[in-house]
Structure 1
Amino acid sequence: MFGDFFSRAIIAGTGLAAVTGPLGCFVVWRRMAYFGDTMAHSALLGVAISILLSINMTLGVFLVAALVAGALLLLQRQATLSTDSLLGILSHSSLAVGLVLVGFLTQVRIDLMGFLFGDILAVSEQDIFIIYGGGIAIIALLAINWRPLLAATVSPELAEAEGLRPEVSRIILMLLMASVIAIAMKLVGVLLITSLLIIPAATARRLSATPEMMAVVAGFLGAVAVIAGLFGSLTWDTASGPSIVVAALAIFLVSLAVPTARLFGRRQDHGA
């Protein structure tokens, strides 16, 4: 009934949602939405550098995103500017430098709109292997570091008192975000990655009683948004990446009508 390209898009998109959902919970809990934008914007710089150096694009995007995260940590220690100012500088600078470098690559044809907004319908079997292989690794690392990450999110001071090293947890979280941005770029584009991280997690927060259940619900809602967005894109001939984000937004708006009592899991008090 549907072409292979559509089936591959659903498989890739749902696999990505299973990763962005749990990781997005920490973005919401830590109020790191602007940080997510900063790392997403750096992806275009990673694309340009990858082409210049003839290296794997996914690897190049990851390395640049990780370097931007490291630069933020170093600049924060200088304590000369607020974090939001530093994020603004890094976000717009990395995007601008990336666009300038792309302009110099006249010998290479670059689909700039594809990188900005993604093209999930063009995903290949190799891309699916990268998404699921990288996704399994990210989820595994997230599960292994769940307790220290959650403790550092609730109270860095208490986490440090318990010997959990919140600064290390923060670095791990930044590297995981760099990884998911690298594998998500081709699907939803650098301008929409943060939406896929934030909107399902924000929706799940209203419906879940525990942090663990919120992570599961966020992944599920992200997958629903991917499927609904792709079918909507097919029906109304709209761009696939933005359609997925619009579907996620629609689910969030519907969730606003749900009473504040959590639907999934027993209600527990937690700091996240």
Structure 2
Amino acid sequence: MLDDFLTRAALAGVGVAIATAPLGCFVVWRRMAYFGDATAHAAILGVALSLTLSTSIFGGVLVVALLMALAVSSLSGKGYAVDTLLGVLAHSALAFGLVAVSFLQGVRIDLMAYLFGDVLAVTRTDLAVIWGGAGLVLALTAWRWSALLTATLNPDLAYASNIDPKREQLILTVALALVVAVAIKVVGALLIGALLVIPAATARPFARTPEAMAVMAAALGAGAALGGLWAAFHFDTPTGPTMVCVAAVLFAASNAVALLRRAV
């Protein structure tokens, strides 16, 4: 079954959707959309370093994304507004990554695949990495779910409950870096942030509990991945951007339904 490239692409899209869903909820709750973008943009620099050192691209992207996330976390609140800091680091990381790629000699690289994803080229090894990473992310968020939720809702309550919000922020940072490394093959560095935010934002008006929102976000993300794959195959459009387009349509429909419900 895995010899069919469409089957591998579908499994990859669903795996990424499952990995991004719970983290996307925290990104929405904490208003960290730019944080996700800054971490994702650093992935291109990780790709360039991996090719230069002839190491695993997954490992290089994970290390650079983690360093970027840790840098943002440590520098925030030290003289610059968070949005300014994120803007500087996100665009700088992407620019340095693109420049570093241009210096690579004797290496053929499809830059568009890393910027916008190439899910149709996913191999069995990529599939194992994606689902292995998704499993780690789900295990990490399930283990720290209650603590992460408490630290997100009320840091003072977290301290009273013997929970360190900074430690939970670090755990979330590690999980986000892992998701970036997992998702770059499917949707690319420029679209990872969209897959983190849009399904969670789509689920938000209809979820009554945080857990329900995470489950709904996973289902919507998987639906966007499969719907985008189908649309890209039939209309000959780029697969990663088409997945994001389907997610955006679902978001618009969700908000329309929510507005109608409030009007009635």
User: Is 1:9–1:123's contact at 8 Å kept on the other side of the alignment?
Assistant: yes
Q: C-alpha displacement at 1:260, in angstroms?
A: 6.2
Aligned partner letter, 2:73: L
Change (3 A) 1:261 1:168: farther
**How far apart, in 1, do the equivalents of 2:259 and 2:212 lie?**
16
**What secondary structure sits across from 2:219 in the alignment?**
helix
> Is 1:207 aligned with 2:193?
no
Give the aligned partner of residue 27 of structure 1.
27
Residue type of the partner of 1:4?
D
What is the aligned partner in structure 1 of residue 240 from structure 2? 241
Deviations 1:120-148 (A, max 9, x none): 01101111111111111110110000011
> What is the letter of the counterpart of residue 240 of structure 2?
G
**2:159 aligned residue:** 160
CA displacement, residues 46-101 of structure 1 (integer Å, 9 cap, x when unaligned): 00111112211111111001111111222225x21111111111101111111111
In the alignment, structure 1 residue 256 sits paired with structure 2 residue 237: no
**C-alpha displacement of 1:224:** 0.5
Residue 261 of structure 1, CA deviation: 9.9
Per-residue CA deviation, residues 186-213 of structure 1 (Å, 9 max, x unaligned), is 1100001011111000001011100000
2:9 maps to 9
Deviations 1:151-172 (A, max 9, x none): 1110112111211101000000
Alignment check: 8 A CA contact 1:148 1:169 kept: yes
- The residue that corresponds to 2:137 in the other structure is 138
Amino acid aligned to 2:176: M
2:109 match: secondary structure: coil
Unaligned runs of 5+ in 1: 263-272
Residue in structure 2 matched with residue 190 of structure 1 by the alignment? 189
1:109-128 to structure 2, matched below 5 A, reads: 109-128=108-127
Paired residue for 1:74? Answer: 74
d(CA) in 1 for partners of 2:52 and 2:160? Answer: 46
User: 1:261 & 1:161 partners in 2: Cα distance?
Assistant: 41
Structure 1 distance, partners of 2:27, 2:91, is 20
Moved more, 214-223 or 87-96: 87-96
1:100 alignment counterpart: 99
Aligned to 1:216: 215
CA contact (8 A) 1:203 1:252 kept: yes
| TM score, norm. by length of structure 1 | 0.93
CA distance in 2, matches of 1:89, 1:156: 27
Q: Secondary structure at the match of 2:158?
A: helix
State how far apart, in whole Å, the 2-side matches of 1:15 and 1:36 are: 18
Corresponding residue for residue 226 of structure 2: 227
Structure 1's 171 and 114: CA in aligned 2 closer, same or farther, altered over 3 A?
same
Question: Aligned-pair distance for 1:106?
Answer: 2.7
RMSD: 1.7
**How far does residue 3 in structure 1 lie from its aligned partner after superposition?**
7.7
Equivalent residues, number = 261
Alignment check: 8 A CA contact 1:40 1:194 kept: yes
Question: Which piece of structure 1 moves more, 251-260 or 159-168?
Answer: 251-260
Q: CA offsets per residue over residues 15-66 of structure 1, 9 Å max, x none?
A: 1111111110000000000011100100000001111122111111110011
TM-score normalized with structure 2 length: 0.95
SS in 2 for 1:256: helix
Match of 1:80, SS?
coil
State the alpha-carbon separation in 1 of the partners of residues 177 and 17 from structure 2: 15
1:48–1:101 CA contact under 8 A, matched in 2: yes
Q: Percent identity?
A: 51
Q: Partner of 2:256: helix, strand, or coil?
A: coil
CA–CA separation in structure 2 for the residues paired with 1:84 and 1:118: 26
Q: Distance in 1 between matches of 2:244 and 2:69?
A: 25
Contact 1:207 1:261 (8 Å CA) reproduced: no
Hey, what's the Cα distance between the residues in 2 that align with 1:198 and 1:240? 18
